[in-house]
């Protein structure tokens, strides 16, 4: 099967990776807590809650945009259209950015610094395991249009 018709991933890794990041951060926080930066706990919780709302809103906006564009929201399915509107105008990976922001938010809300580490590790692993494969898939399907999109839109932020 050629790259045009192939699926970008065989398995939907990103949700699993971020789920493992959450679980690992929680477990590590119970076993060996990291020092938490001095932030008033109520302020940190409010900031975390606001970041959670932003992350969930970003994910919902991205999913709504994909559905309106009549393409898949699943990372292990071949895409039908190159989506460059909605949150995709600002970042090529708004759903993964939402996952990362939610992980950071949970760290703020629980005062568990392992969530910050987990967010960075999950973002790096997601880049290598999923995003680069998805980009090769999009390059094969949309060629110059995808290259132009990459030049004007950042991968993460």
Q: Which residue has the tokens 């790096």?
A: 124
Are 70 and 26 in contact, with CB atoms under 8 Å apart?
Answer: no
| Cα–Cα separations (whole angstroms), residue 24 to 45, 66, 115 | 21, 30, 8
pLDDT tens by residue, 47-92 = 999 999 999 999 999 999 999 999 888 777 778 889 999 999 999 9
Residue among 126, 110, 115 at smallest CA distance from 24: 115
Residue ranges of the domains in the chain?
Answer: 13-27+39-152
Are 33 and 112 in contact, with CB atoms under 8 Å apart?
Answer: yes
What integer pLDDT is reported at residue 1 of this predicted model?
47
**SS3 of the chain: helix, strand, coil, percent, to 5:** 70, 0, 30
The DSSP call for residue 111 is T
pLDDT tens by residue, 6-55 = 656 677 788 999 999 999 999 999 898 777 666 668 898 999 999 999 99
pLDDT classification of 149: cutoffs 50, 70, 90: very high
3-class secondary structure, 139? helix
Residues written for the chain:
157
pTM: 0.88
């Amino acid at each position: 099967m050629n790259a045009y018709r192939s699926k970008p991933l065989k398995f939907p890794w990103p949700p699993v990776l971020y789920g493992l990041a959450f679980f690992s951060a929680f477990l590590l926080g119970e076993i060996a807590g990291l020092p938490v930066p001095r932030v008033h706990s109520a302020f940190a919780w409010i900031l975390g809650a606001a970041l959670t709302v932003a992350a969930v809103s970003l994910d919902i906006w991205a999913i709504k945009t994909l559905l309106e564009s009549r393409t898949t929201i699943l990372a292990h399915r071949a895409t039908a259209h190159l989506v460059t509107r909605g949150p995709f105008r600002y970042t090529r990976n708004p759903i993964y950015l939402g996952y990362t922001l939610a992980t950071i938010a949970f760290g703020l809300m629980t005062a568990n610094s392992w969530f910050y580490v987990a967010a960075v590790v999950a973002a790096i692993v997601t880049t290598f395991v999923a995003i680069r494969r998805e980009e090769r898939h999009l390059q094969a399907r949309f060629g110059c249009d995808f290259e132009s999109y990459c030049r004007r839109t950042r991968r993460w932020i």
